[in-house]
Amino acid sequence: MPQLPAFNPLTNVNESPHVVILGAGASRAAFPNGDANGSRLPLMVDLVGCLGLGQAFQAAGFQKTVDFEALYDELATTGMHRSLREEIEAKVWSYFDRLQLPDAPTLYDCLLLSMRPKDCIATFNWDPFLAKAFLRNREFAPLPKILFLHGNVAIAVCIKDRVKGFSGDTCSNCGAPLQPTNLLYPVRRKNYKSDPFIFAEWKELEASLQQGYMLTIFGYAAPATDVEAVDLLLRGWGDNPTFELAQVNIVDIKPEEELRKTWERFLCRTHYGTTANLGTTWLLRHPRRSCEALAMATLQNDPWQENPVPRFKSLAQLHAWIAPLLAEENKGRFTGNPCLQPQDFGGNAPEKSPTAGTNWVLGWLKAMCKGRPYPSVLRGTGPKGRQPLQPALHCGL
Ligand SMILES: [Zn+2]
């Protein structure tokens, strides 16, 4: 039976999750100039070239060395060239493991800070950027769940104790170093159940999809080698009793018609949008409030003003900008009031009357513009003090 989202009109809080799926196109779009050292973020089609795997394939007698998925699938299904397969896997791991986040705020920082713990980001990517962005933001704001559908070089686990953490962490139960997760490679016959960590991540995603009110698919092409993944996604989203009211956003550079065809089974009538730019989606136009903004516009007929995330040069500025939203979250009641925009603290712009949640951040943003140092308020002396540390990663093992 169709069901309304978990929206409370008395507090304007919507507990239904926004689920985001990230594919290789998301990392490419978020890091168009590569990592901090200029290393490129490969898509499957250019992975052989990016990682310099061509020579190894050619030495083993493969003539066409462009399509990594086809080549790896052949190695895996025939069981031949075992040493080549091991060499490729080692090179893939070491390439992604070396990638470093640039210091300036990235799209992944904005994405994480635009979502709350009820929300969920699930990535197919092996690169460490989502995990590293999570680590550097988690002290400043409660963040969404992050799930790794094909394993990840920055995530580690203790399978015995069902503990998930970051590379270099120790198990909170037995104290042993957490072990790297296995990367799931692009083969036609993937078995998502064979690896207990990956299986648990998918179960978590399925649960979020079943309760979701919004779904954003960012840079995931649903390749032929991932038919099973798309079916698993659909199993969660298709079982969602709020499907009829829910909204899907597809962020991709492909034409709308092609995207509609690919994702047809996920869409209810016209409740979807396609765009090439994540910045124009509900998520970044209503950071930390996307599900509330949709409910206010469609269920309450009282749309909220947009609150787009500005582009900041430093993470500290971005953290200060979202602080009023965090203050509201501590109170458990949302107003829909937008945060300050850069023009609000420009030289000649008239000063708006600040709300209780914004007056302290306004002062600091003005100070930042004059080159003052990092604010003491973010070190724990603000009106609400520092946000509590994010608990250890949730583990569904
Ligand atoms: Zn353990």
Read off the DSSP letter of residue 252.
-
Ligand 1 midpoint to CA 113 (Å): 30
Closest listed residue to residue 74, CA positions, set 240, 186, 237: 186
102 Cβ neighbours under 8 A, 6+ residues apart: 31, 35, 36
**pLDDT tens digit string along 311-360?**
999 999 999 999 999 999 999 999 999 998 777 755 444 444 444 444 44
Predicted local confidence at residue 225, as pLDDT: 72
Which architecture characterizes domain 7-34+103-298 according to CATH? 3-Layer(aba) Sandwich (3.40)
In this structure, are residues 48 and 65 in contact, taking their beta carbons and an 8 Å threshold?
Answer: yes
CA angle 120, 295, 112 (to 5 degrees): 25
Sorted by where each begins, the domain ranges of the chain are 7-34+103-298, 44-98, 315-379
Ligand 1 midpoint to CA 171 (Å): 5
Predicted local confidence at residue 394, as pLDDT: 55
Ligand 1 midpoint to CA 115 (Å): 29
Q: Confidence class of residue 288 from pLDDT cuts 50, 70 and 90? A: very high
Residue 194: Cβ within 10 Å count: 10
Ligand 1 midpoint to CA 395 (Å): 12
Closest listed residue to residue 244, CA positions, set 272, 263, 220: 272
Q: How far apart are CA 375 and CA 362, in angstroms?
A: 12
Ligand 1 midpoint to CA 177 (Å): 8
Above 80 in pLDDT, residue 393?
A: no
Ligand 1 midpoint to CA 170 (Å): 8
Ligand 1 midpoint to CA 173 (Å): 5
Ligand 1 midpoint to CA 169 (Å): 11
Above 80 in pLDDT, residue 162?
A: yes
Question: Token pair for residue 304?
Answer: 């909220």
Torsion sign (Cα): 105, 111, 112, 115? positive
In this structure, are residues 209 and 174 in contact, taking their beta carbons and an 8 Å threshold?
Answer: no
Q: How far apart are CA 17 and CA 115, in angstroms?
A: 9
Q: What is the DSSP string of 34-81?
A: -STT------GGGHHHHHT-HHHHHHTT-S----HHHHHHHHHHH---
Q: How far apart are CA 130 and CA 41, in angstroms?
A: 13
Q: How far apart are CA 141 and CA 135, in angstroms?
A: 11
Predicted local confidence at residue 35, as pLDDT: 94
**pLDDT tens digit string along 11-38?**
999 999 999 999 999 999 999 999 999 9
Ligand 1 midpoint to CA 391 (Å): 17
Ligand 1 midpoint to CA 159 (Å): 7
HSE of 287, CA atoms in CB hemisphere, 13 A: 29
Q: Is the pTM of this model over 0.95?
A: no
